[in-house]
Chains A and B, each alone.
Chain A
Amino acid sequence: MTDAPLRRFAFDDELTIVTAAEHRERLLAALGDSHGVRLDLSGVSDLDTAGLQVLLLARDEGARLGLPVEFSEPSPAVAEVLALTRLEL
């Protein structure tokens, strides 16, 4: 099962409280019917706490379901937040 390709999931705008709910639904849906997702973070123009929580949720949910969740190509906005919070995704 782990051999199956990861489903790519991209963001093309801000990941903030404005869009957090919507992204959460999409992400959970994507996780639900795949063998894991690869989150392409290169398009995230803005990231706030709400957005960060969605990313963390995806990570935890993946772990709970036993599905791989990978993060790739963090945009400068994402990198700044990760540096600030000393978090590693």
Chain B
Amino acid sequence: MSLDDSMREALDMFVTEARDLVQQLEEGLLEMEGQPPGGDAVNAIFRAAHTIKGSSGLFGLRHLVSFTHVVETVLGSVREGTLPVTPGLVSALLPCVDHISSMVEGIPEGRLAPDSSQEAEGARLLSGLEPYLSESAAPIAVPAEAPPVTETAWHLDLRFGPDCLRNGMDPLSFLRYLSSLGEITHVVTETDRLPEAAAMDPETCYLAFAVDLTTAAPKSEIEAVFDFVREDSDIRITPAESSLDAYVRAIRAMPENDRIGDVLITSGAVTEQEMAEALRVQQERTAKLGLAQPVPIGEILVEQGIVPRDIVDAALSKQRRTTESRSSQDTRTIRVDAARLDKLIDLVGELVIAQSSTGVAGAVVSEAQSEVMRLVDEVRHSALSLRMVPIGTTLRRFERVVRDVCMELGKEVSLVITGGDTEMDKALVERISDPLLHLVRNSLDHGVEPAAERRRHGKSPQGTLKLNAYHDAGNIVIEVTDDGRGLDRERILAKAVERELISPEAVLTDAEVYNLIFEPGFSTAATVSNLSGRGVGMDVVKRNVGALRGSIEVETTRGIGTTIRIRLPLTLAIIDGFLVGVGPSSFIVPLDRVTECVELPPGQLGRECMNLRGEVLPFIRLRQLFHIPGTEARRQSVVIVEQSGQRTGLVVDSLLGELQTVIKPLGVLFSRIKCISGSTILGNGEIALILDVGPLIADHSEREVAALGV
């Protein structure tokens, strides 16, 4: 791996982490508005800003460091309670967060320094922060329970991994960064691992450092400095001898607690990360040695050099007399490359297929076999659930949107989010966020009335926008509800006639009228605002939702409000399908498109259509469409599918039933084939093509029109 690649990898990691932190910053700022000074939100965003600054420094991203530094300073005053949280302050800080975000996003594109416009933007934003930086900001309150800031002496053993130089990490930068955290009182640079000249690789790191650091920063912050090298380095941070007594005293003064881990973490002697690592070692060892009782965690902590024995003994005496009641481990999360997950799901899909074919081969299913079947099914379920993430993070992002839009429009709207725990496929979450954004903006712009108008109608001047998500019959439903003016049926009709979307004589149901708003180029807004009303948006929303195999509907009451409901499959990786046979070939029709199945009536009308309960139903003969040889079955069936309110029959030889199957995308070679959306392997090893109903019908009607020479 070249130096560049490794460096890029480290940078990628930094960018991923920075994105999370920026998100935290934004959420925290919005949350902070409603909180007393010194709340958790303030602490959290201060840490986030600090961490961004720190890690940027490690990569030499000076522009990020200097900009974030100012933001951090302002947040620091907020945290100390010397600066009150005002809407003005939040409004000044939010664009700064955007700026940080844009600088972070520039990194993967190779922009490691700001361009002139970015620099100007940064300067402008910083000048906006100036009022909050002035010394004259009078303290509004003396924090009653400010944690006592005392300096602690730490001893750091830094053994960097041999590859850290190749990965673009210079141990010297870490030393420099440490000196910004506090005072480095002593350093011993250990050179004894340096080999003889002939054996030395100039790109391998041989040096180790023992550092004594006196700082007010908590241990977790010191630990965070080494986040990027932790994996292959050996980093030990222990309280220096001189601080031991202080810890022992602090532990003795703590309230009763039966968990030694908690005691040690609360005292600050051990960080959560170290504890997690120690717990892992504990588990491993217990399993390996086959012990009935786990090795005491204190022993492991001492042995790993994380804390001195004195401190563990103090914590143990605190814990004594309480029986062993170790509860489950803290929930921990790990990041996994999405491609690996996809690979796993793909393999599980193959496993399901292979397994079902063994079931076919042996006529009698043994108990063992059915157990394997059950397990395979469970494995598939949990593999798919790995991709599931709660939608809450995406929904909470709209708090910012609502705030900004309301500022711009001079409206007052509160956002209520429910069902944030509802889980859906990660890929879907990402792709639904843009359509949702359109809907939210639209509701704010067109739905919710200005305060004056609301008062006239006897509504509360503050509007409400609700985002709700829930599971419903294998789908996820996301609702955007406002309590605004509702859709105006007459105006939509008038507009549709004007735009020649419908004829003036047409009689439409309410639902059909409201669905017109999803037509391209449709907008009834009297004024075109900056946000919406340009007639792009709703049709794009509909198309995007359709592309995700979802549907969208509108429910509205004049004067009361509008709900727009998006219904999506939980995942794109599997499909509920209806298997049909034509001659030797098999096809899968997405089950959500199938409305019913009937037998093809004998005796033909002149054209390709049949009589379905008094209505004319056009149909497509799949045998002809795909040029499948052979004679037709004696009794053919028609699968009736519905697309955009239009019903069409598909004539097939046999109906083989429902099945749930893993979708395999078609290769690039077939990327231009329109009527097929993918393929899957059946239990008997044969391939079935998955029909893409929309284009299939559209294509067919075009051909019909051409054939008739209209």
Contact = CB atoms under 8 A, between A and B. Distances in A.
Contact of A61 (B171, B175, B197, B206): B197
B200 A57 contact: yes
B171 A28 contact: no
A87 B197 CA distance: 20
Contacts of A57: 194, 197, 200
B617 interface: no
Given A85-B172, A86-B189, A87-B189, A50 B200 contact: no
Given A49-B172, A60-B194, A61-B197, A85 B202 contact: no
A48 interface: yes
Given A17-B3, A48-B170, A84-B187, A53 B175 contact: no
Contacts of A87: 189
B202 A54 contact: yes
Tell me the interface secondary structure of chain A in the complex. helix
B188 interface: yes
Given A17-B165, A49-B207, A57-B197, A84 B175 contact: yes
Nearest to A54: B202
Contacts of B203: 17, 20-21, 50
Interface of A: 17, 20-21, 23-24, 28, 48-50, 52-54, 56-57, 60-61, 64, 81, 84-87
A64 B196 CA distance: 9
A86 B186 CA distance: 8
A11 to B, nearest CB: 14
B273 interface: no
B207 A52 contact: yes
29 contacts: A17-B166, A17-B170, A24-B197, A24-B200, A24-B202, A48-B170, A48-B172, A49-B165, A49-B171, A50-B202, A50-B203, A50-B205, A53-B202, A53-B206, A54-B202, A56-B194, A56-B207, A57-B200, A60-B191, A60-B194, A60-B197, A61-B196, A61-B197, A81-B172, A84-B175, A84-B187, A85-B172, A85-B175, A85-B209
Nearest to B3: A17
Contacts of A61: 196-197
B225 to A, nearest CB: 15
Interface residues of B, number: 24
Interface in B181-205: 186-189, 191, 194, 196-197, 200, 202-203, 205
Interface in B74-115: none
B320 interface: no
Most chain B beta-carbon neighbours within 10 Å: one of A49, A50, A64, A85: A49
A21 B188 CA distance: 25
A85 B194 contact: no
B58 to A, nearest CB: 13
Nearest to A59: B191
Contacts of A20: 202-203
Most chain B beta-carbon neighbours within 10 Å: one of A54, A81, A85: A85
B8 to A, nearest CB: 16
B170 A49 contact: yes
A62 B460 CA distance: 85
A53 B189 contact: no
Given A49-B170, A52-B207, A21 B202 contact: yes
Contacts of B66: none
B176 interface: yes
A86 B179 CA distance: 13
Contacts of B187: 84-86
Interface in B154-190: 165-166, 170-172, 175-176, 179, 186-189
A28 B196 CA distance: 11
Most chain A beta-carbon neighbours within 10 Å: one of B172, B176, B187: B172
Nearest to B187: A86
Contacts of A28: 197
Nearest to A82: B189
